[in-house]
Amino acid sequence: MKLRIALALASLVLLGAAGAVAAGVGPPPPPASVTATPTADGATVAFGATSATGATSATGTTGSFLVTVSPGGKQVYGASSPITLGGLQPSTSYSFRVSATNAAGTGVPSAPSSPVTTLAPPAGTVPPALSGPKVSLISFFAAPSGGPTARGRGTGTNLSFSDSEAGTVTLTVIRVTGGFKHAGACLTHALPTSKRCTSYELLGTLTEMAGAGSDTLHFSGRLAGHALAGGVYQLRLTATANGLTGNTLKVPIDVF
């Protein structure tokens, strides 16, 4: 199965050690020649390579790229050009900026692409339906290196599911934390007189272009080049096809 992996972060949160940064190497400059091709629920964004020492290349061998969508501010990480992203509104105009990321950080964004308008859903279409979610391991170690689908002995987990039709499947990673209610918020610090609560923090998303029928997505336990910290998480799976988004499946996992 050919995966087109993208990573959307609600905020740029470091989830593990970033590793050593070579002396004198800073965040890379922006990629050039950003273009976009619309789909019914998103776009495919293409761009050229950066040229700074230590920066990522168009093949994404030493880092990754961050696409920022306007309007809305949606952010999607990807390993290389092109990056396919979904979850946008149909029949809506968007433009895209791309930033390159290496161990030193994320560089300034590129000039925006020319605006493109996402396609309208075909008449009579219905939202896709997901069913039968299963994970090969509920509790696992994150892979020691690589991207969100990197494989290593005894690491990561496989998420299997069935999709009613071909389209974009998005896996959202949520950190689940127990706490106590205080002033309308769920705080991790103990407040003896407060009721217990659970907070859900969006960490990022993986997307793939999947066909109809049975499919499997491997999740390494890594996002944006960093291993998830040990704890409780939730994987949320949704499908989008022809500009319509279907049901959401939820699977709990533990990362050691």
Q: Measure the CA–CA gap between 90 and 41, rounded to whole angstroms.
A: 6
Whole-Å CA distances, 194 to 19, 108, 187, 199, 200: 40, 44, 10, 15, 18
For residue 23, is pLDDT > 50?
no
For residue 7, is pLDDT > 50?
no
23 domain-assigned:
no
Query: So what's the pLDDT on residue 154?
Result: 86
Compute the mean pLDDT over every residue in the chain, rounded to the nearest whole number: 81
182 domain-assigned:
yes
Q: What percent of the chain is modeled with pLDDT above 90? A: 38
217 domain-assigned:
yes
- Output 240 or 19, whichever has higher pLDDT: 240
How many Cβ atoms from other residues are within 10 Å of residue 81's Cβ? Answer: 21
For residue 24, is pLDDT > 60?
no
48-97 pLDDT tens trace: 876 443 443 333 334 578 899 999 888 887 778 888 887 788 889 999 99
For residue 20, is pLDDT > 60?
no
Question: How many domains does the structure of the chain reveal?
Answer: 1
Instruction: Kindly give, in sequence order, each residue whose CB lies less than 8 Å from that of residue 94, ignoring residues fewer than 6 positions away.
Output: 36, 38, 43, 69, 70, 71, 72, 88, 115, 116, 117, 118
- Output 193 or 138, whichever has higher pLDDT: 138
50 domain-assigned:
no
Confidence of residue 141 (pLDDT cuts 50, 70, 90): very high
88 domain-assigned:
no
Confidence of residue 21 (pLDDT cuts 50, 70, 90): very low
235 domain-assigned:
yes
Q: Measure the CA–CA gap between 148 and 223, rounded to whole angstroms.
A: 5
- Please, is 146 exposed, middle or buried when counting C-beta atoms within 10 Å of its C-beta (0-12, 13-18, 19+)? middle
Average pLDDT over residues 234-239: 94
Residue whose tokens read 């170690």: 141
Q: What is the DSSP string of 75-143?
A: EEEESSSSEEE--PPTT-EEEEEEEEEETTEE-PPPPPPPPEEPPPPPTT-----EEEEEES-SEEBPP
- Output 62 or 218, whichever has higher pLDDT: 218
Which structural domain, as residue segments, surrounds residue 161? Answer: 130-255
Q: Measure the CA–CA gap between 219 and 151, rounded to whole angstroms.
A: 8
Here the CATH number for the domain that contains residue 175 is 2.60.40
